[in-house]
Amino acid sequence: MNTISAAPASTAPFTAAHQRTVVDALRAVLPEQCVLFNEEDTRPYECDGLAAYAQLPMVVVLPLNEAHVIAVLKVCRDLSVRVVPRGAGTGLSGGALPIADGIVLSTARLNKIVKVDAYARTAVVQPGVRNLAISEAVASLGLYYAPDPSSQIACTIGGNVAENSGGVHCLKYGLTVHNVMRVRVVTIEGDVIELGNAALDAPGLDLLSVFVGSEGMLGIVTEVTVKLIPKPKLARVILASFDDVVKGGNAVASVIAAGIIPAGLEMMDKTSTRMVEPFVKAGYDIDAEAILLCESDGIPEEVEEEIARMTEVLKHSGATAIAVSQDEAERLKFWSGRKNAFPAAGRISPDYYCIDGTIPRRRLAEVLQGIAQMEVKYGLRCANVFHAGDGNLHPLILFDANQEGEFHRAELFGAEILEMCVAFGGTITGEHGVGLEKINQMCVQFSRAEMDAFLSVKRAFDPLSLLNPDKAIPTLQRCAEYGKMHVKRGMLKFPDLPRF
């Protein structure tokens, strides 16, 4: 396959005159208050949740409806202006990081729930609707939207679609891609296309699954049809302690190997529980080297049986203490520590860097040992929280950006964790996307032919590379500069050759 250049179309450099031209063109199609260009107005958009990287955009637009989105994209195409889509800006991989001479297109104001169909168990929502707001809106019908990122109080469904977001319940109920039936998208040409439909299968190519997880590079989501599922009658969670992280890791693999699919299977190491417990008082055993949270949901008989089976497996795997939530309040208390792990990191360290990689479950214990060695190598602490059931790691590297060189060490530490995930047969992202953060590790994960295939798809939707360029798919030159040879499923090509 020929190597395709990812270089974007030449765009005008950021000058005051160019900014004026773009602002005037945008104000001709949008209400004045929807176009921001003064520094004090654009500053809040300079970064997403990965605040270590920041860039002021040239202009921010806040369309109020789909017609506005179409008009903005036509202006950008005509003037060759690059566009960074944005939802709530909670992304953790720099996906919504602005470009100096580009615009940020925020869909936060497209925030209406258009329609709820209790019979079809679907909801049609605009992209700026918050994840949790969907479940809140349909709670009275006994329904909810299953994917539950820990950021669900703030993140938007548009961002969830772009990142293929996951959460605690995704082990049993699937990721965003499994819970979205249809998306309405505006292309860079200003055309509206609908991908997917209301039936289980759809005619034509399955472009919905191509689009979900495409990180704002293929089009702007303007409407999403999501699946709703009945709220389980009962949910209970087991809190199990282990005196050894390796035993905790092996217990995760044993639960799944026993044929159980818990509604959530999360793990936290001692650094994490000690960080969280004084903050939320979740009742965690802070002397344990690791704790597991294993949830079961369904009808009461089912839950009782599954809790008994999981308890048995956990005891067999060496759990030193086991507690089972007795009521809903206690269940939420047990979960509160895990759900607040990221903010709690801010209490014990000035800065933290959340890594997101995935490994085969059976390698969990080895990866934990590898991370412990890296803590010594880089001289930085790391708190480990995991969506353990699906092998999705979230090591939180603790550092102080005011200390010379600490952020750089944290970056190297994070990169080494991701590359270890690839070497163990895993991937460089579980749910936070590649964005800018993991773009170098794409060179490690994929062959050039595979990345060319990604670029061909990008080009089919966005021939001028105006939509979120330079994110998620690295150029050949970038990979060459990163100086890596391709490692796939743990197999390094030509292992005898010296590395440079």
Give me the least distance between CB of 93 and ligand FAD, in Å please: 8
Q: Name which of 175 and 238 has its Cβ closer to ligand FAD.
A: 175
**3, 2, 10: which is closest to 465 by C-alpha?**
10
Strand order in the sheet with 103-106: 35-36, 59-61, 103-106, 83-86
User: Are the C-beta atoms of residues 146 and 179 closer than 8 Å to each other?
Assistant: yes
Give 241 or 392: the residue with its C-beta nearer to ligand FAD: 392
**Nearest-approach distance from CB 126 to ligand FAD, in angstroms:** 9
Three-state helix/strand/coil letters over 431-499: CCCCCCCCHHHHHHHCCHHHHHHHHHHHHHHCCCCCECCCCCCCCHHHHHHHCCCCEECCEECCCCCCC
Closer of 89 and 337 to ligand FAD (Cβ): 89
Nearest CA among 366, 159, 332, 152 for reference residue 235: 332
Of 102 and 158, nearer to ligand FAD (C-beta) is: 158
65 DSSP 8-state letter = S
Q: Please, which residue, 276 or 313, has the CB nearer to ligand FAD?
A: 276
Chain residues that interact with ligand FAD, rule: CB under 6 A: 48-49, 84-92, 95-96, 107, 127, 149-151, 155-156, 158-160, 162-163, 165-167, 215-216, 220-221, 342, 431-432, 468
CB of 49 to ligand FAD, least distance (A): 4
Question: At closest approach, how far in Å is the CB of 328 from ligand FAD?
Answer: 21
Q: Least distance from C-beta 146 to ligand FAD, angstroms? A: 13
Which tokens sit at 386? Answer: 């995991």
Query: What SS3 class is residue 132?
Result: helix
Judge whether 249 and 364 are in contact, CB under 8 Å: yes
Quick one: 159 or 314, whose CB is closer to ligand FAD? 159
Q: Dihedral through CA 200, CA 202, CA 205, CA 210, nearest 10?
A: -40
What minimum distance in Å lies between the beta carbon of 168 and ligand FAD?
Answer: 7
For residues 340 and 424, give the distance between their C-alpha atoms in angstroms, rounded to a whole number.
29
Shorter beta-carbon distance to ligand FAD: residue 208 or 319: 208
Contact assessment for residue 448 and residue 476, using Cβ atoms and an 8 Å cutoff? yes
Rounded to a whole number of angstroms, the minimum distance from the CB of residue 142 to ligand FAD is 24
Question: Which among 50, 62, 47, 161 is positioned nearest to 99, based on CA atoms?
Answer: 47
